[in-house]
Amino acid sequence: MSTAVLTPAPDTHRGWRRLPLIRQLQQSVGLQRGMLVAGLVLSGLFLLTAVLAPVLAPYEYNQLRDPAGPFGAQQEPSSAHWLGTTVGGYDVLSRVVWGSRTALYVIVVAIVLSIFVGVLLGLVSGYFGGWLDRVLIVVCDAIYAFPTLLLAIVVAIAINGGQSSMWGGILAAAIAITVVYIPQYFRVVRAETVRIKAEAFVESAKVIGAGHWRIMTRHVLRNATRTLPLILTLNASEAILTLAGLGFLGFGIEPSSAAEWGYDLNRALADVSSGIWWTSVFPGLAIVLVVLGLTLVGESLNDLADPRLRTRRRAVASRADVAESPVVPGGSLAAGPGGLAGLEGPDEGRRFDQ
């Protein structure tokens, strides 16, 4: 027998290169890489702005005057107010910068509220099956039919009773999003769990005598999280859109308690027809860019996770130096009797799971 074939390829992807995002970044080429980089840059800028808002913003979000006197309403962009001022007399740049903070809060709260419940329910439902599974699926299908924004309005009224504090507005948007997104996490994790439950390694854990809880946490859960990044980014962008929608409809946060892009857009409605462009363009741009950035990251992570969608560099001729390495990654014997099929086999996908 050939010992050369049995020697597995040395693993060159240890250490920091294995970290998520960095590994995907190295893996990607061409358009996919462009999408991922653009998404990462946009999302990174958003995060930085939110964290450094006190440093970056020239004024407070609710500041109407400085020592020189009131800002004045609907002032054109100038050296004192780079992006002008709003109809209420706030500095547009400061409102946009501080608004990112509110957006980040709502993302974090919405994700934290939905991900744990959704994943746990999906795991239990998919693993045990039976009547619990069926009931949960029916409930989730019913929730899909729920209009998010209407729910958010109801929640906003219930929480605030008409007054809009910062956390009241954030919670209203986050809870509405949570209700709609728990079924999404549930569905994804349940589907993966059902698939993984049939894999031989789960059966082998059963044969060993491992308990249900151990199988669920150690063997199923970690293998079932492959598509979570995509849902996570969708969840985040949906949360921002709902918050903005609430603000736009007038159920949002008062300008004195926090900066919020939807509210500013709402106030800028009348300005558009009178030629005052700066009050609406910048908050609108902020919403579009952040949602775009998050969606780009999610989309490209999803494409990269799937070996069939992932584009690779073209094969290069004249590489005689690989002659002694196995033809199939992970040792040629890893492939089934399929030969070529083995090249794109389950190993490929598994590698990504690490």
Partner 1 sequence: MRSRAVNDVVGIENLSVSFATDIGTVDAVRDVSLGVAAGEVLAIVGESGSGKTVTARSILGLLPETALTRGAILLTSKDGATTSDVVTLSGARLGEVRGRDAAMVFQEPSTALNPVYPVGWQIAEGLRAHGKYSRKEARQKAIDVLRRVGIPDPEHRVDHYPHQFSGGQKQRIVIAQALVLDPGVIIADEPTTALDVTVQAEILDLLRRCRDEFGAAIVLITHNMGVVADLADRVAVMYQGRIVEQADVRSLFAAPQDPYTQQLLAAVPRLGQGVARTRERAAARPSGWQEAAPIVAARDLRIVYPGRLRQPDFVAVDGVGFEIRPGEVLGLVGESGSGKTTIGRAIAGLTKVTGGSLQVLGAEMNGVKEKAFRPVRERIGFVFQDPASSFNPLLTIAEAVAEPLVVHKRFPNAAAARARVDELLEQVQLPKAFGDRFPHELSGGQRQRASLARSLALEPELLIADEPTSALDVSVQARVLELFDELQREHGFAALFISHDLAVVDLLADRIAVLYKGRLVEEGTGAEVLGAPQHPYTQRLLASLPVPEPDEQALRRGAWERLRAAD
Q: Kindly list the residues in this chain that would bind partner 1 in the complex (CB under 8 A).
A: 1-2, 4-6, 8-9, 11-12, 27, 199-201, 203-211, 214, 218-219, 222-223, 310, 312-317, 319, 322-323, 325-348, 350-351, 353-354
Contact criterion met (CB below 8 Å) for 242 and 148? yes
Contact 74/41 with Cβ under 8 angstroms?
no
**Residue 317 CB, nearest approach to partner 1 (Å):** 6
- Tell me the C-alpha distance between 141 and 220, whole Å: 24
CB of 195 to partner 1, least distance (A): 11
Please say which residue, 8 or 129, places its beta carbon nearer to partner 1.
8
Do 148 and 238 touch, CB atoms closer than 8 A? yes
Strands (E) across 54-136 are located at 65-66, 69-70
Shortest CB 235 distance to partner 1, Å? 24
| 313 CB-contact burial (10 Å; exposed 0-12 / middle 13-18 / buried 19+) | exposed
Instruction: Give the residue with the Cβ less far from partner 1, 224 or 265.
Output: 224
Count Cβ atoms within 10 A of the Cβ of residue 156 and give its class: 0-12 exposed, 13-18 middle, 19 or more buried: buried
Task: Indicate the SS3 state at residue 250.
Answer: coil
CB of 300 to partner 1, least distance (A): 16
Please tell me the distance from the alpha carbon of residue 259 to that of residue 202, in angstroms, as a whole number.
50
Query: Which residue, 245 or 345, is less far from partner 1 as judged by CB?
Result: 345
Burial class from Cβ neighbours inside 10 Å (0-12, 13-18, 19+) for residue 5 reads middle
Residue 102 beta carbon to partner 1: minimum distance, rounded to whole angstroms? 37
Place of tokens 């990654």: 329
Contact 175, 109 (CB under 8 A): no
Half-sphere exposure of 20 (CA within 13 A, CB side): 13
11-14: long-range contacts at Cβ-Cβ below 8 A with a sequence spacing of 24 or more?
Answer: none
The residue (of 68 and 324) whose beta carbon lies closer to partner 1 is 324
Nearer to partner 1, 145 or 323 (CB): 323
Instruction: Decide: 152 and 178 in contact? Cβ < 8 Å.
Output: no
> Residue 12 CB, nearest distance to partner 1 (Å)?
8
Give whichever of 290 and 328 is closer to partner 1, judged by the CB atom: 328
Which residue, 171 or 305, is less far from partner 1 as judged by CB? 305
Report H helices in 198-315.
200-208, 212-214, 228-249, 261-273, 278-305
CB of 192 to partner 1, least distance (A): 13
Query: How far apart are CB 184 and partner 1 at their closest, in Å?
Result: 24
31 or 112: CB nearest partner 1: 31
Residue nearer to partner 1 on the CB measure, 199 or 254: 199
Pull the structure tokens for residue 124.
Answer: 């239990």
What's the residue count for the chain?
A: 354
CB of 27 to partner 1, least distance (A): 6
